[in-house]
Structure 1
Amino acid sequence: MPATSTGSPAAAMRPDVDWVNPLTGALTTSPDTACGKTFPGAVMPFGLVQLSPDTVSGGDNGSGYSADMTTIEGFSFLHLSGIGCYGDLGQLQVMPQTGELVTGRDAAKSPFEKATETAEAGYYSVELGRYKVRAELTAAERAGILRFTFQDAGTGRIKVDLSRRIGFDGTHTVTQQARLVDDHTIEGSMTADRSGGGWICGNGPVYEVHFSMRFHRPIGAFGTWDKDDVDRQAHERHTASDSAGFFVEFPVAAGERILVKAGVSFESAAGARGNLATSLPGWDFDGLRARARATWSRAIGRVKATGGTDTQREIFYSALYRTMLDPRIRDDAQGPERRRGFARRTVFSGWDVFRAQMPLLTIIDEQVVSDTVNTLLELTSSGKVKGLARWELLGTDTDTMIGDPAINVIAEAYLKGVRGFDPDTAYRLCRDVALGPIERSNRNDYANWKNLGWCVNTSLSETLENSYSDYAMARFAQATGRTADARELLRTSRNYRNVFSPEAGWFRGRNADGSWMGDQEGCVESNPDQQGWFVPHDVPGLIELLGGREAFISRLNAIFEQTAPEDMMRWNDKYNHSNEPVHHMAFLFVHAGAPWLTQKWSRYVCRHAYGTGPAGLAGNDDCGQMSAWYVLAAAGFYPVAPASGVYAVGSPLFDEVTFTTSRGTRFTIQSRHNSDVNCYVQSATLGEKPLHRAWLRHEEIMAGGRLVLEMGPEPNKEWGSDPRWAPPSGI
């Protein structure tokens, strides 16, 4: 649980970038808390390369690193952050050695002391006790560099594993090649297919990773290995193996440093070579570390928080940092793809990030949003993806999760004025999914959606998710003058009503014959008590179904009352912040005319569902969604229905938070007399005029200005409660 101590004057002068702790959430297994599954290594904002330590390869350990483990396998160039399933990537694993060559990945592991670990924005280091080597990592956008300091004189070795992949089951075979180009350079590639694991046990993309690796000293010896078969004479090797790679050796003096750098490409060897030359032309490790820090300082400088406690600042800036890891750049620095007019991106965890991470980026980084939309449209137009990708990874729709999150993101982007993509193409491809002829993402349920008015597989979750997507698409249609489509989509956006059981007084899944499913059936990663609140686009309609405002507030409030503080950091059956379906719930009170309860419970979640260090996340970070929730909630507002362009006002944790928008304006939320006790809004002004409503419009934020909240210890139940100031329902 976060501490409540007030920040010291010295801490207040600390640069914001130094509050970032990349180790936050870096657990993949824990009996006591949910796991963030983040990685602690070096990366640039939205960078292609994520150079990070590996403690584990197989199993449900999506980041490849868990802070409770005490040995390191090596350091690989590609990782995924916060994914909630068997992972992928993890290729090009580098490990320094001394003594006899040890080829096996497990056999070559080194113990390390946690006290020797340092993780900062753009930098990581650790002491490898077995080999007496200090390893340091830093990264550029498309390349990374490692500096190994050997404590003892002798032979220094760097072993490179070309078979390693996160999420594999130990039986996969990787087609690989490595070639000694000259006395400083080795190039090669690895092919990742669906055999033996990878994404969700073999349901992910097929892709190639190309690399160009250089050593700052001439290579003393070069060899290849395949399990226990070692060849010290070969200058290149082509093989298919589950355990193979190459090694280089150098004579080293005590305290001597060996530097190795590599560019990585998903396209070609030339691309990897160009990425290395462009991103990392020299050998100035400390200079690159400083540039990485400066780049991160500028990136997180788009959101400036002042006040709060030291703990809150660390949580806040670490969360903001994680919202800028994905969707990462995929294009090479050079090549024909650079002429398309946008940067292709990858790692689109749609079902997660449409809720808060993408809305945050619509405020502070419209270019990433525009690139993401263009990438999604290109994948569909090229025929690589049928419909629109829900969970895109390296140009493939992994068909993970439910709903039509790409529609949500594309519609929201257009409605919020994000341009840089063709709106007619975007509308046509979204319409093909929402209204046919392409089946919806819940593949076999499209006919049921049209004819019955509900889905029958994971009935409740799919029906509610699709209802929101149809609302988002309806607003897109309205904004582009397609009124007939808008009417039909608004009609189907009300399909959520078809899975509300009047007899039960709550939502339940339904079968194709109209019968109701069991009380706990029909949901994805949730239960009906949680999923049923996902009617973000028509809260007045949900209030009506529940029998009125008081009944709505009472039932919603009870869920929070029944969620113990310790349960906020682990999976539970009430308010389960560990997973996305509940993320808007604390802000629904604003839509019911009880904003003081949003103020109370958003603070409660911030306090109990987030902390510092490896156990600091209540669930998988899900490519930045969990972190984006905190950034927005701690700043004092949140989008219940992102495509509406409306943000519910909560209770800021800080005295001031300033957003520098993509359009160069600045929007500040100031909280006067703010404290742990003074968590309730007494009154508000926006641009020096009284603000009687407890919500903001997107255009008000983007225009810049200042929202001032007067805070106090007791709820002011008058402010924001008048029905005249209710948020627009949108339906």
Structure 2
Amino acid sequence: MKTIATIFLAAAFSVPAASMAQGPAAYVNPFIGASTSEGAAGIYHGLGKTFPGAATPFGMVQLSPNTITGGDNGSGYSYEHTTIEGFAFTQMSGIGWYGDLGNFLVMPATGPLQTSAGRQQQPEEGYRSSYSKQEEKATAGYYGVQLTEHNIKAEMTAAPHSGIMRFTFPAHQQSRIQIDLARRVGGTSTWQEVKVIDDHTIAGYMRCTPDGGGWGNGDGKGNYTVYFYAQFSKPLTKCGVWSADIPDGWTRKREDIESDRYRQQVAKATVLPGVKEKAGKHLGFYTEFATTEQETVMMKAGISFVSMDGAKANLEAEIKGWNFDAVRRQAFALWNAALGKMKVDGGTEEEKTVFYTALYHTMIDPRNISDVDGKYIGGDGKVHVVNSFSKRSIFSGWDVFRSQMPLQTIINPAVVNDMINSLVTLADETGNHYLERWEFLNAYSGCMIGNPAVSVIADAYAKGIRRFDVEKAYAYAKNSVEKFGNGGKGYSTGGLSVSLTLEYAYFDWCLGRLAAALGKRKDEKVYTARGGNYKNVFDKDKGWFRPRNDDGSWQPWPEEGRMKQGYGTIESSPYQQGWFVPQDVPGLVKLLGGKEKVLADLAAFFEKVPEDMMWNDYYNHANEPVHHVPFLFNRLGRPWLTQQWTREICARAYRNAVEGLVGNEDVGQMSAWYVLAASGLHPVCPGSTRYEITSPVFNTITIALDPAYAKGRQFTVRTRNNTPANRYIQRAWLNGKPYARCYLDHALIAAGGTLELEMGSKPNKNWGIQ
């Protein structure tokens, strides 16, 4: 099996330094979205929540600075924080719910050893350090910063399963690299072990259970072990461990480890110089040495979710020596290859930076968590070996079924195939026999709502992505919608009645589509009919969707009416959620009173959005339920309004700035929306093969197609007279022939060719309305 490590090694030491400033990877700005600030967002959800550290496409390692443990700080980093705790080898991208990972936290220091990170407001209490914001740098595959408290430069780069760090120290008799093995975003690992292998090497593991918080502060059921194998360029002549005595009766979730009691206990941890092996509840490792002015000391490590042997094999396969710059060039080359699948011409330099950073963010997850030898830990806790796919994790289903997975069906269909295989085998290994909606390292976290994996499978199958056990996938999809659905009533009740009913109806429809493709006529009829259940929470008297009680009665109508946030909905209002009937737009329009009434309502929905497009009560691009709505105008015979509003959203909701994302990145979804919309194509209804055509940001977008899944070599969207003012499509040609439709089928993209669009400053109200 050809792994990503094999590809990585093939590029070893062959990338010239000049290439570091060339190619699409040169446009990537990892600081876009790297803030969790509630104040800047105006809502507790915060901003992008991305991390700025080093990673490779879909890699296991993300070597990134961590600024705070605890709080709703899922990425471990927020740009406005003024101190850094350390640099961890694993991170999550763009998520809330307190986050997880942030494991194997490495920190350089000088002077007396401190065993606690200390408080953000008083960094001198612990090993955290202030840092120079001016000297903080991040590019694709690289992060560097000057730690001002000890005057140490920290740099890091990554390979798919490993990473290397380079520290430049001042002259000091007591310089140090220390590793907090207990550290975990949103909590703590609950058991660690470390041992010295030889005079340059340590190995061990960190066990992370729900008792230690993490994903959902434990409610997400995150339960995994991170193994490490680390080597130091300077010999371990003076090393040891520290061990904090955590009483058996202490709980260890987020609020516990944030407490003064816990922090003080860690601060007085027992330091054990010379100890070569230790297991415990809250451990750290350190190695001390003298340094001369500007002396560099390096550390490299492989990680694995399988074993210490796996971590060792991962490191030895990817980073054989101590050539930091070569590894950095390799990482950059991987990003150039991955991002090069989409080439854009035209647009401003800022728009290219936004585009390629967005594309970069869509290639963090779903990450490959199988080792270089193909081994991975399954849902049964046992070691398995992949044969025909890479084991992938972090499936933010409720978010990514809308844009992220449809984007990958075009540019990375093998990744979609891997994800489906991973979800299906997980359902098999656990014995659950249904598909998880938000999978995290084999955990059935239950986060958010619906059956998004059913959408992803139906969409993939319809597009010819079928290298998985189709019958088993179908069986588990059917089990999923039967376990979680609108039931015999045909609607869901309770506090999320509207959101659940509408989304379950869509996922039922998806299963109906898959059943039809597989010739399962009885199921096709049943589940397609269930796709109409959205009508069962529509109140004709109020003219909108309304939550119902178990006895069928309506819940009291609030003073704010359909505008009330959380009224039968999740992270939305009925006004926002009510547009989610992608499977039956004509039926929705009829229900809402006809096309003209719907168009007037949609006009207000967009026109009342604040200029900055931050969290609001109308078209709220900061969250997923409305992401398909701009494309509904295509379905309503007003394609020029889709063109107008997608260009507005691209310009107003995405910027080359830390606060350049108006909402959580959500594991690629926010960025994938931009990539597709800026390219002129986006689906309304995954599970259907139809993409809506809209106004591209760029003059030309060329998409490389995967020959294993597509007949064509590339598909190009080309424009004439495209400018910010010329945002309206006047005419179109597909492969040189006039094209009058405002949509395109996936098969036409996969066949390869060119869609050419002539642009103008005023709408052509005759094009695209067939």
With the length of structure 1 as denominator, give the TM-score of the two structures.
0.93
Contact 2:491 2:497 in 1 (8 A): no
Residue number in structure 2 paired with 1:476 = 514
Q: Structure 1 stretch 413-422 or stretch 619-628: which is displaced more? A: 413-422
Contact map agreement 2:490 2:530 (CA 8 A) in 1:
no
Letter in 1 for 2:643: Q
| Contact residue 83 and residue 129 of structure 2 kept, 8 A | yes
Instruction: Compare 613-622 and 380-389 and name the one that shifted more.
Output: 380-389
Name 1:83's counterpart in structure 2. Answer: 95
1:390-409 alignment runs, 5 A limit: 390-409=437-456
Q: Kindly state the Cα deviation for residue 642 of structure 1 after the two structures are TM-superposed.
A: 1.3
1:344 & 1:196 partners in 2: Cα distance? 25
State the match for 1:236 in structure 2: 277
Amino acid at match of 1:468: Y
What value does the CA root-mean-square deviation take over the aligned residues? 1.4
Match of 1:418 in 2: 465
- SS of 1:474's equivalent in the other structure is helix
Q: Which residue in 2 is equivalent to 1:504?
A: 542
Distance 1:55 1:372 in 2: 31
Out of 265, 288, 294, the position equivalent to 1:255 is 294
Alignment partners' CA distance in 1, 2:490 and 2:584: 20
Pick the aligned partner of 2:319 from 272, 280, 286. Answer: 280
Corresponding residue for residue 400 of structure 2:
353
Per-residue deviation, 1:151: 2.6
- Taking the aligned partners of 1:512 and 1:49, their CA distance within structure 2 comes to 47
| 1:231 counterpart letter in structure 2 | L
Deviates more, 1:650-659 or 1:381-390: 381-390
Distance in 1, Cα, partners of 2:74 & 2:492: 34
Matched, 1:21 2:40: no
Partner of 1:639: 683
Task: Report the Cα distance in structure 2 between the residues aligned to 1:339 and 1:602, rounded to whole angstroms.
Answer: 41
Partner residue in 1 for 2:191: 175
Greater shift, 244-253 or 362-371, is seen at 244-253
Residues in 2 aligned to 1:313 and 1:356: alpha-carbon distance in whole angstroms? 19
Verify the 8 A CA contact 2:189 2:206 in the aligned structure 1.
no
Do structure 1's residue 671 and structure 2's residue 709 form an aligned pair?
no
Q: What residue in structure 2 maps to residue 610 of structure 1?
A: 654
- The 2-side partners of 1:433 and 1:95 are apart by 44
Residue 84 of structure 1 and its aligned partner are, at CA, apart by: 2.2
CA distance in 1, matches of 2:48, 2:234: 39
Q: Distance in 1 between matches of 2:432 and 2:397?
A: 14
Letter in 1 for 2:279: H
- State the match for 1:545 in structure 2: 591
Alpha-carbon distance in 2 for matches of 1:127, 1:304 = 34
Residue number among 382, 407, 423 corresponding to 1:376 in the alignment: 423
- 1:655 corresponds to which residue? 699
Residue deviations 1:28-77 (CA, integer Å, cap 9, x gap): 11413341000000001000010100101111000000000111110000
Aligned residue for 1:701? 749
Question: Any conservation in 2 of the 1:28–1:35 contact (CA below 8 Å)?
Answer: yes
CA change 1:564–1:715 in 2 (3 A) is: same
Contact 1:21/1:119 (8 A) holds in 2: yes
What's the secondary structure of 1:622's corresponding residue? Answer: coil
Greater CA drift, 72-81 or 661-670 = 661-670
The yes-or-no answer on 1:97 pairing with 2:109 is: yes
Given that 2:40 and 2:47 are in contact with CA atoms closer than 8 Å, whether structure 1 keeps it comes out as no
Quick one: percent identity of the two aligned structures? 47
- Is 1:188 the counterpart of 2:171 in the alignment? no
Look up the equivalent residue of 1:163 and give its one-letter code. Answer: A
Q: State whether residues 508 and 527 of structure 2, in contact with CA within 8 Å, keep that contact through their aligned partners in structure 1.
A: yes
* SS of corresponding position for 2:176: strand
SS at match of 1:67: coil
**What residue in structure 2 maps to residue 9 of structure 1?**
none
- What does the per-residue CA deviation read over 1:335-371, in whole Å, with 9 as the maximum and x for residues that have no partner? 6534432111100000000000000000011111111
How far apart are 1:456 and its partner, in Å? 4.0
Matched, 1:321 2:360: yes
How far apart are the structure 2 equivalents of 1:173 and 1:383? 23
CA distance in 2 between counterparts of 1:384 and 1:67 reads 42
Q: Residues 270-290 of structure 1, C-alpha deviation per residue, up to 9 Å, x if partnerless?
A: 111111111222211100100
Question: How far apart are the structure 1 equivalents of 2:203 and 2:491?
Answer: 56
**Alpha-carbon offset, residue 384 of structure 1:** 5.3
1:233-253 deviation digits (Å, cap 9, x = unpaired): 311111113xx3010112221
CA distance in structure 1 between the aligned counterparts of 2:431 and 2:416, rounded to whole angstroms:
21
1:508-523 equivalence runs, <5 A: 508-517=546-555, 518=557, 519=561, 520=564, 521-523=567-569
> Displacement, 1:649?
0.9
Task: Tell me what 1:599 maps to.
Answer: 643
CA deviations 1:556-610 (Å, max 9, x no partner) are: 11100111212x1x21111111100000010000000100000111111111111
Equivalent position SS for 2:430: coil
Q: Verify: 1:298 aligned to 2:337, yes or no.
A: yes
Any idea what the Cα deviations from partners look like across 1:539-560, whole Å, max 9, x if unmatched?
Answer: 1111111222111111111100
| SS of equivalent residue, structure 2 residue 687 | helix
What is the DSSP-based 3-state SS (H/G/I as helix, E as strand, rest coil) of the residue aligned with 2:301?
strand
Counterparts of 2:491 and 2:279, CA distance in 1? 55
Greater alpha carbon shift after TM alignment, 65-74 vs 549-558: 549-558
Displacement of 1:414 in angstroms is 0.8
After superposition, residues 417-566 of structure 1 pair within 5 angstroms as: 417-434=464-481, 436=482, 439-440=483-484, 446=485, 449-517=487-555, 518=557, 519=561, 520=564, 521-566=567-612
User: Any idea what the Cα deviations from partners look like across 1:387-412, whole Å, max 9, x if unmatched?
Assistant: 21100000111100000001011111
Give 1:9-88 correspondences, 5 Å limit: 15-33=23-41, 34-88=46-100
Q: Which residue of 2 aligns with 1:197?
A: 213
Displacement of 1:196 after TM fit?
A: 4.2
TM-score (norm 2): 0.89
Classify the secondary structure of the residue corresponding to 2:695: coil
Q: Secondary structure at the match of 1:257?
A: strand
**Paired residue for 1:4?**
none
Segment drifting more, 101-110 vs 640-649: 101-110
One-letter identity of the residue aligned with 1:423: V
Partner in structure 1 of residue 351 of structure 2: 312
Once the two structures are TM-superposed, the CA of residue 173 in structure 1 deviates from its matched residue by: 6.3
Q: Displacement of 1:198 after TM fit? A: 0.9
Q: SS state of the match for residue 617, structure 1? A: coil
| CA–CA separation in structure 1 for the residues paired with 2:368 and 2:231 | 23
Q: Are the equivalent residues in 1 in contact too, given 2:353–2:656 (CA < 8 A)?
A: yes
Q: Distance in 2 between matches of 1:594 and 1:14?
A: 41
Q: Structure 2, unaligned stretches of length 5 or more?
A: 1-20, 119-125, 244-265, 376-383
**Alpha-carbon displacement from aligned partner over 1:424-454 (angstroms, at most 9, x marks no partner):** 11111112223x4xx11xxxxx4x5223444
Distance in 2 between the 1:44 and 1:351 partners? 25
Which among 113, 125, 132 is matched to residue 113 of structure 1? 132
2: distance between equivalents of 1:91 and 1:432? Answer: 35
Question: How many angstroms does 1:195 deviate by?
Answer: 2.0
Superposed displacement of residue 219, structure 1: 1.5
- C-alpha distance in structure 1 between counterparts of 2:81 and 2:149, whole Å: 15
Please give the secondary structure, in 1, of the residue aligned with 2:317. Answer: helix
Gaps of at least 5 residues in structure 1 are 1-12, 441-445, 726-731
- For 1:357 and 1:62, the matched residues in 2 are separated by 20
Which of 206, 216, 233 aligns to 2:223? It is 206
The question of whether the paired residues in 2 share the 8 Å contact of 1:173 and 1:196 is answered with: yes
> Residue 144 of structure 1: SS of its match in structure 2?
strand
Paired letter, 1:24: I
For residues 650-675 of structure 1, give each alpha carbon's deviation from its aligned partner in whole angstroms, at most 9, with x where no partner exists: 11110011111222621111111011
